[in-house]
Structure 1
Amino acid sequence: MEKNYMSMFLLLVAISCVLAKDVGKKDTKETNTKPKLPQTLSRGWGDQLIWTQTYEEALFRSKHSNKPLMIIHHLDDCPHSQALKKVFAEHKEIQKLAEKFILLNLVYETTDKNLAPDGQYVPRILFIDPSLTVRADITGRYSNRLYAYEPSDISLLYSNMQKALKLLKTEL
């Protein structure tokens, strides 16, 4: 009888050791992968910047703070949007200048047709002054997609951000 108990005990110990090794392997696989960070309103466009959650909130904050609004339309699975986001987030001067704006990035279209004056494409960036007027005079370099920017257009985007701020000062 003791032999049976001892055999059962050894069998349980062996099974426990095998199962413990399998669990250990799973844990090391999970720790080797990069942990997924929680989604923030920045969506990777500048985590240290203050972003608004909705279009309506952005309009309200722009009007009441007398700051221009910069809206970035993009898609998470668009390679052009991802490339522009990477350059935007790494550009120190743009990140610094962006602090002077009310910021909103959208991964969906709004019902406001003023935000798609020449079509619904991504990425596109529009500027809106505190009087809630879309600045049609601040555009990118393309004639068929006026508000489109590519990573190579980052200096133009920076210049346009400065222009949006200067226009605001001259109108005050």
Structure 2
Amino acid sequence: MEKNYISISLLLVAVAYTLAKDLGAKDKKDTNEYKPKLPQTLSRGWGDQLIWTQTYEEALFRAKSGNKPIMIIHHLEDCPHSQALKKVFAAHKEIQKLAEKFVLINLVYETTDKHLSPDGQYVPRIMFIDPSLTVRADITGRYSNRLYAYEPSDIALLYANMQKALKLLKTEL
């Protein structure tokens, strides 16, 4: 009889241990694996307080109807160069303020408009388009082999190019 009690006790301890282990694992999954993800905004981290357009076609329409230049940012979410530029861009207060004067779009895909990749499809690539829907080939970065590329260290040049795009708009009016 005593052997039965010992066997039943060991069995109960084993079952209790297994159940407790499963519950602990389930709690871990609940906090990590099943954590609800927040919806991604159109800014994709480039400036959450700015107004971003969803499609290239929408940006073209808004530029023409609002008489504003477009600033188009081509990037990839898993590109370390894009991520580094995004971090500096989002933190630069003057750029964020100046960006309010543009129709903004950031694309993680290539458009069918070949004018947006005149020197190749690389990222990050920032281009300006005036309200007449002309790509401003005269507003470039510092690299001769990637004309529209910017690095985090080029943030002052990007700011100057944004000012140039707005100044050209005023002189063309």
TM-score, structure 2 as length reference: 0.84
In structure 2, do the counterparts of structure 1 residues 88 and 37 end up closer, same or farther at CA, with 3 Å as the change threshold? same
Question: How far apart in 2 are the matches of 1:48 and 1:24?
Answer: 40
Q: Which runs of 5+ in 1 are unaligned?
A: 1-10
Percent of pairs with identical residues:
86
Q: Which runs of 5+ in 2 are unaligned?
A: 1-10
Q: Match of 1:86, SS?
A: helix
Question: How far apart in 1 are the matches of 2:27 and 2:132?
Answer: 55
Tell me which residue corresponds to 1:111: 112
Trace 1:127-146 onto structure 2 (pairs within 5 A).
127-146=128-147
Question: How far apart in 2 are the matches of 1:96 and 1:107?
Answer: 23
Question: How far apart in 2 are the matches of 1:95 and 1:17?
Answer: 56
Question: How far apart in 1 are the matches of 2:171 and 2:49?
Answer: 29
Q: Match of 2:98, SS?
A: helix
Question: How far apart in 2 are the matches of 1:23 and 1:38?
Answer: 29
Q: Match of 1:37, SS?
A: coil
Q: Match of 1:131, SS?
A: coil
Matched, 1:83 2:84: yes
Aligned residue pairs: how many? 166
Question: How far apart in 2 are the matches of 1:42 and 1:126?
Answer: 17
Tell me which residue corresponds to 1:149: 150
Post-superposition offset of 1:90: 1.0
Q: Match of 2:110, SS?
A: coil
Question: How far apart in 2 are the matches of 1:169 and 1:40?
Answer: 31
Question: How far apart in 2 are the matches of 1:81 and 1:65?
Answer: 29
Tell me which residue corresponds to 2:40: 39
Post-superposition offset of 1:78: 0.8
Tell me which residue corresponds to 2:124: 123
Trace 1:21-60 onto structure 2 (pairs within 5 A).
22-23=22-23, 26-27=26-27, 30-31=30-31, 36-60=37-61
